[in-house]
Amino acid sequence: MRTMSNSNNKLGVEHVDPALGDLLPPTSNPFVGSANVLISVPESIEIKLVEAGVLVDYEVLLLLLQVCFSAMVGFIVAYCQATEVSKRVLLVAIFVLGLLTVGLFIAVCFKRSKLYQKTKRVPYRLGEEVKVNDKISNK
């Protein structure tokens, strides 16, 4: 076994590098009996299952909505700071991005309502079997 020691090491502790040689045999857990762990869990858990395809569509539309809205706000700021010559072009861009943002907002609202319509709630009590559609699944 190869070890590396530091000349400034006052405690006499050596570092074992597994790349340089054999590993030391495993040791026992030093925290046995000295560490107490308390886990608090609720009496029951409710799991909401959703259709994955609708969720992916919702997330993509939400991302596009955020990007379009940010771009529209950027063009509004540019419009407020622009000279009279370039304001007309910026106003057209703001109008187009505004229409696109409204359309995406409507699509996101539609997908969200569709997502919640297809949600399945599965109650689960700790220590009991999970029943989905009157079939027992593994814990």
Token digits of residue 36: 């107490």
d(CA 90, CA 103): 20
H helix runs in 42-124, sequence order? 52-81, 87-117
Q: For residue 115, what pLDDT is reported?
A: 86
What's the rounded mean pLDDT across residues 115-138? Answer: 69
Average pLDDT in the chain:
79
Q: Pairing relation of β-strands 44-49 and 120-125?
A: antiparallel
Mean pLDDT in residue range 18-35: 68
- Residue 54, classified by CB atoms within 10 Å of its CB into exposed (0-12), middle (13-18) or buried (19+), is middle
The answer to whether 71 and 97 are in contact (CB under 8 A) is yes
Choice between 5 and 114, residue whose per-residue pLDDT is larger: 114
- The per-residue pLDDT for range 57-87, each reduced to its tens digit, is 999 999 999 999 999 999 999 999 988 888 8
The domain locations on the chain are 44-137
Instruction: Classify the phi-psi angles of 20: left when phi > 0, otherwise alpha if psi is within -120 to 50, otherwise beta.
Output: alpha
Residue for token pair 């502790």: 13
State yes or no: pLDDT of 5 exceeds 60: no
pLDDT band (50, 70, 90) for residue 29: confident
Report which of residues 5 and 49 the model is more confident about: 49
pLDDT at 136 over 60: no
Query: What pLDDT was estimated at residue 23?
Result: 60
> What would the mean pLDDT of 31-50 be, rounded to a whole number?
76
